[in-house]
Amino acid sequence: MMFREAEGTTLILLKSHAEDLGLTYEFPCRMITLEIHSSLEAIGFIARIASELTRHEMGVNPVSGYFHDHLFIPDGREKDALQILDQIAVEASNSD
């Protein structure tokens, strides 16, 4: 993905591509794609996930596509994040 802002351009790309292009990078991370098709107008969906990750001292950079939400998790914390997401899913299914 590419974001153009007044201060500069942000790219989300594979670390290997950045290195091949000689680009510096700031946030090595892993992408987790949520397999739920959520509405772009959904209220609180990403906030719930981000809040739970925060409770476990984990930052997240979410990006919402039309079909799925994608979480960019610090490299090395992806297993922790998946366990937390599994727990959120269990809690959500138990509340139905």
- Residue with structure tokens 């996930």? 49
Question: 66 CB contacts (<8 Å, ≥6 apart)?
Answer: 40
**For residue 14, how far is the Cα from the chain centroid?**
14
For each of the domains in the chain, give its residue range(s) and CATH number, in order of start.
Answer: 28-94 (3.30.2130.10)
Q: What is the pLDDT of residues 44-96, one digit of tens each?
A: 889 999 999 999 999 999 998 888 899 999 999 999 999 999 999 898 888 76
Beta partners for residue 11, in sequence order: 2
Could you give the C-alpha distances from 8 to 1, 4, 27, 29, in angstroms and in order?
14, 6, 16, 20
Q: Average of pLDDT values for 23-37?
A: 91
CA pair distance 12, 3, nearest whole angstrom: 9
